[in-house]
């Protein structure tokens, strides 16, 4: 029974794949999936300060991100699809200097509504141009300590007004609106799975920084922002007729 069912599914799938726009004059369907990527953020201004901090500098060649996305062709506007996406990634550096562990962690995330137009003159695959409209955030953590803590000494440290503890913990954060022009190539496999390659440039609007418990941080270099180029891949599940 199972071999017969499998054979029927394969025949139907191949038939759908072979009909190539017989039933749909424009791309049709939709789906969702996992979208790993690689993002390139300008960290030069931050790395300048890390030299004196002693944690080591963050990579200038980008870092890994992971996320998800989905879309659906809306039908009443041919070749137009809408959806949503989200991503997040982090990079870090650490070192041991003068008996202290020094570490910095940089995290960036974002997401929003996607609006894309699939080029109608390219058949069998979807080459789509569009944009993400949404928001994102950056979080930077700085730590300097000797490793393990003792319960009593920790509270003594934070309760003493004149404490000159060498331990440091700081959190910097920045929220922004984003507009991300992008291009994606989606390649279907038997209509039900699609593989993606794409790239884009994230434009961040908003340079208000906070530190620790939402205290304002002024004079942050303007180049330390969410503007970034990225490349992405993906695997999607659904129904795809391109």
pLDDT at residue 31, rounded to an integer: 96
pLDDT at residue 13, rounded to an integer: 43
Measured CA to CA, the distance from residue 98 to residue 37 in angstroms comes to 37
Domain ranges of the chain: 33-241
Measured CA to CA, the distance from residue 139 to residue 178 in angstroms comes to 16
Residue pair 119/127 in contact (Cβ under 8 Å)? The answer is yes
Q: In this structure, how many other beta carbons lie within 10 angstroms of the beta carbon of residue 219?
A: 5
The CATH number fitting domain 33-241, selected from 2.40.160.20, 3.30.43.10, 3.40.50.1100, 1.25.40.10: 2.40.160.20
As a dihedral over the C-alpha atoms of residue 17, residue 22, residue 23, residue 27, rounded to 10 degrees, the angle is 70
Q: In angstroms, what CA-CA distances link 49 with 55, 104, 179, 212?
A: 10, 11, 29, 18
pLDDT at residue 16, rounded to an integer: 42
pLDDT at residue 27, rounded to an integer: 85
pLDDT at residue 62, rounded to an integer: 97
User: What is the tens place of the pLDDT at every residue in 63-103?
Assistant: 999 999 999 999 889 999 999 999 999 999 999 888 889 99
Q: pLDDT tens for the chain, 242 residues: list them.
A: 444 544 444 444 444 444 444 445 778 899 999 999 999 999 999 999 999 999 999 999 999 999 999 999 998 899 999 999 999 999 999 998 888 899 999 999 999 999 999 999 998 999 999 999 999 999 999 999 887 888 988 888 878 755 567 888 999 999 999 999 999 999 999 889 999 999 999 999 988 899 999 999 999 999 999 999 999 999 999 999 88
């Amino acid at each position: 029974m199972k071999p017969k069912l499998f054979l029927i599914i394969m025949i139907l799938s191949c038939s759908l794949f072979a009909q190539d726009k017989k039933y749909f004059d424009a791309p049709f369907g939709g789906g969702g999936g996992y979208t790993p990527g690689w993002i390139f953020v300008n960290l030069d201004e931050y790395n300048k300060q890390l030299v004196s901090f002693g944690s080591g500098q963050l990579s200038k060649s980008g870092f890994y991100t992971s996320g998800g996305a989905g879309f659906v062709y809306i039908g009443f506007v041919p070749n137009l699809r809408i959806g949503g996406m989200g991503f997040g990634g982090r990079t870090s550096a650490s070192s041991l200097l003068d008996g202290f562990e020094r570490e910095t962690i940089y995290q960036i995330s974002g997401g929003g509504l996607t609006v894309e137009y699939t080029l109608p003159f390219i058949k069998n695959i979807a080459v789509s141009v569009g944009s993400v409209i949404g928001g994102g955030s950056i979080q930077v953590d700085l730590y300097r300590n000797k490793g393990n803590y003792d319960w009593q000494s920790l509270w003594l440290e934070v309760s003493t007004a004149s404490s000159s503890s060498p331990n440091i913990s700081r959190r910097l954060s920045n929220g922004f609106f984003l507009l991300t022009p992008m291009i994606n190539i989606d390649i279907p496999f038997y209509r039900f799975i699609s593989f993606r390659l794409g790239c884009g440039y994230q434009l961040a609007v908003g340079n208000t920084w906070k530190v620790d418990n939402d205290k304002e941080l002024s004079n942050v270099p303007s180049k330390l922002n969410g503007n970034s180029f990225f490349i992405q891949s993906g695997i999607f599940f659904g129904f795809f007729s391109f």
